[in-house]
Homo-oligomer: A and B are copies of this chain.
Amino acid sequence: MGNPMAKNLMKHGYPLIIYDVFPDACKEFQDAGEQVVSSPEDVAEKADRIITVLPTSINAIEAYSGANGILKKVKKGSLLIDSSTIDPAVSKELAKEAEKMGAVFMDAPVSGGVGAARSGNLTFMVGGVEDEFAAAQQLLGCMGSNVVYCGAVGTGQAAKICNNMLLAISMIGTAETMNLGIRLGLDPKLLAKILNMSSGRCWSSDSYNPVPGVMDGVPSANNYQGGFGTTLMAKDLGLAQDSATSTKSPILLGSQAHQIYRMMCAKGYSQKDFSSVFQFLREEETF
């Protein structure tokens, strides 16, 4: 994700100072004349507006608070924007540490895949001090068409996690429903049409239907290639579970959705789009 996001910043005329744990990932930018450095703290020494995109909470902690982390050399007044999807409790902790150094940390997780990143059509859900939102919006607006202010630090993560939990639940629900309807003799296209004009309607039924043959241009039409991988959904559901456990919020279906995507990862669906839960529910044909 970082690559197309950085390119959109370049297009808008921002000079870049870049770091990635995999030096190869930076080569393209070096060739284009951008500055590549060798640690997060080096970035912090040279820039006062920093955007990070990392896969897990642990990576984010390392990048900010690690031995060579951003907070080691962050300048006073710097704006730190983390676009990773991580535990909101970690975002809050990093914001506290940044504040001690006189910097401002905002969480701004991103929604939309690599395609949206390329075309600058990502959605950012932003949490942090409201006064700084305009400054964050200026940068994030170069990469996304939708920049939403969600509230105090951590609420960007919260909004992202909440959306993906409801998405997972309605996707599994759609898959179960379509499968049951088909077994009861309904034509899948007709069933989708009926649901979509009734109270069962949801994004998973009307924009991303998991049943092959119902819609064009979605992963189910392409053997569940592309899209949003099952392993990523399982990760986000793990974050939802952690947040629910620590806030003591009951999530009966959310927990179950987490376990179902966990099972799918164990059974060979990791790299398929998360709508492949329809395939997971189906009777296997060869035994």
Give me the interface of A with B, judged by CB distance under 8 Å.
Answer: 88, 111, 123, 125, 146, 148, 150-152, 154-155, 158-159, 161-167, 169-170, 172-174, 176-181, 183-187, 190-191, 194-195, 197-205, 207-208, 234, 238, 240-245, 247-260, 262-263, 265-268, 270, 281-284, 287
Determine which of B150, B155, B202, B256 lies in contact with A253 in the assembled complex, contact meaning CB atoms within 8 Å.
B256
A172 and B253 contact, CB distance less than 8 A: yes
Given the contacts A184-B154, A268-B284, A281-B266, A251 and B198 also touching, CB distance less than 8 Å? no
Given the contacts A151-B186, A187-B151, A245-B242, A281 and B250 also touching, CB distance less than 8 Å? yes
Given the contacts A173-B170, A262-B248, A266-B283, A150 and B243 also touching, CB distance less than 8 Å? no
Docked Cα-Cα span, A195 to B165, in Å, equals 11
For this complex, 27 residue pairs linking A to B, each with C-beta atoms less than 8 Å apart, are: A152-B185, A158-B181, A158-B184, A159-B194, A162-B186, A162-B191, A163-B199, A166-B173, A167-B198, A169-B173, A172-B253, A176-B253, A177-B254, A180-B249, A180-B254, A184-B247, A199-B203, A200-B203, A201-B202, A202-B202, A202-B203, A234-B248, A248-B266, A250-B259, A252-B256, A252-B260, A255-B258
Docked Cα-Cα span, A125 to B191, in Å, equals 11
CB contacts (< 8 Å) of A270 on chain B: these are 287
Determine which of B154, B251, B266 lies in contact with A180 in the assembled complex, contact meaning CB atoms within 8 Å.
B251
Determine which of B148, B164, B203, B259 lies in contact with A251 in the assembled complex, contact meaning CB atoms within 8 Å.
B259
In order of increasing CB-CB distance, the 7 nearest A-B pairs are A202-B202, A169-B173, A166-B200, A158-B184, A163-B200, A255-B255, A183-B247
Docked Cα-Cα span, A155 to B270, in Å, equals 29
CB contacts (< 8 Å) of A268 on chain B: these are 284, 287
When C-beta atoms are compared, the residue in chain B nearest to A178 turns out to be: B162
Given the contacts A150-B194, A241-B245, A158 and B185 also touching, CB distance less than 8 Å? yes
A200 and B254 contact, CB distance less than 8 A: no
A252 and B259 contact, CB distance less than 8 A: yes
A169 and B166 contact, CB distance less than 8 A: no
CB contacts (< 8 Å) of A199 on chain B: these are 111, 163-164, 167, 203-204, 207-208
User: How far is the CB of A219 from the nearest CB of chain B, in Å?
Assistant: 13
